[in-house]
Structure 1
């Protein structure tokens, strides 16, 4: 049984090391962007927000986007633009925020 676990673990490490795991993460970020309702305001393509005051998220630096989401969720960022986001941020955890931010950074 231990040998099977070690083989499975080795396979996961190999997949991630070769970049196959990153494709799954990117797909997860795209799916989370939809299921967590980000697209409702920022547009299905993350480039066409429903209001001009909402930011275009496609191509955004992943760390910047992740930190903005974290700050909005924690209340560290609480300007006028964050009121609408505050409720939505309750739907995502940090791992999901990271996946969304990473995916957004790959969009052009």
Structure 2
């Protein structure tokens, strides 16, 4: 019995130690700026379009939340997100690389006023949704997770989506509805349940409105010299 207790205690301590080490990984924005060579070819070019699974503007990631960037990269690495190019890139990154890149992009382009970050996320939507779009937003209660202006998510691991490219949002939302496809799809059960409530035409309406909302996201071209 004592031997069993000792074994359980040792395993518990080991798990706690591993969890503690994982929590101690802190991103270094400066280091992230030197590790983004695989990112800037798409995310550092304004208006750049991907062609898989269809033509759409790649998402703006400068100004995105750091914890969401890490969560998304881990989902690609695990295969929960199936985009082949992003999976290959994520698979090449260590936990420290992800933390550094997230720190870099979450701060990239953020404007400070009198030493404080400009609170853009406190701004309201740039325009009120139509009655039809408001009904669609209410159907899945989108604001309950992503915030009233869709740029203040209740959990930092959730994305800011206000102002994101409409065509990207549409493709991303459709991906949550896709099943049994080895190259297309996203495995988040909560978002899958939300997205499946809508037709693709309705998802396109939602994406169009969300893109019109003023937010923090932007594309910052790569500097010519580091």
Give the TM-score of the pair, scaled to structure 1. Answer: 0.67
Q: 1:69 aligns with which of 169, 173, 189?
A: 173
Q: Answer whether contact 1:29 1:102 (CA < 8 A) is retained.
A: no
- Residue in structure 2 matched with residue 90 of structure 1 by the alignment: 196
Q: Deviations over 1:37-89 (max 9, x none)?
A: 2112111211111100100110010000000001111133225xx23201111
- Residue in structure 2 matched with residue 99 of structure 1 by the alignment: 205
**Bigger relative CO (Cα 8 Å, ≥ 6 apart):** 1
Distance 1:67 1:99, change over 3 A: same
Give, in whole Å, the separation in 2 of the partners of 1:52 and 1:96.
27
Q: 1:53 aligns with which of 133, 136, 157?
A: 157
Distance 1:100 1:59, change over 3 A: same
RMSD: 1.8
Structure 1 unaligned blocks of 5 or more:
1-22
Give the TM-score of the pair, scaled to structure 2. Answer: 0.34
Give, in whole Å, the separation in 1 of the partners of 2:203 and 2:137.
9
Distance 1:59 1:30, change over 3 A: farther
More helix by percentage: 1
- Residue in structure 2 matched with residue 10 of structure 1 by the alignment: none
- Residue in structure 2 matched with residue 44 of structure 1 by the alignment: 148
Q: 1:78 aligns with which of 169, 175, 186?
A: 186
Give, in whole Å, the separation in 2 of the partners of 1:30 and 1:56.
19
Structure 2 unaligned blocks of 5 or more:
1-126, 215-226
Give, in whole Å, the separation in 2 of the partners of 1:34 and 1:45.
14
Q: Answer whether contact 2:178 2:186 (CA < 8 A) is retained.
A: no
Give, in whole Å, the separation in 1 of the partners of 2:164 and 2:138.
17
Secondary structure of the 2:144 match is: helix
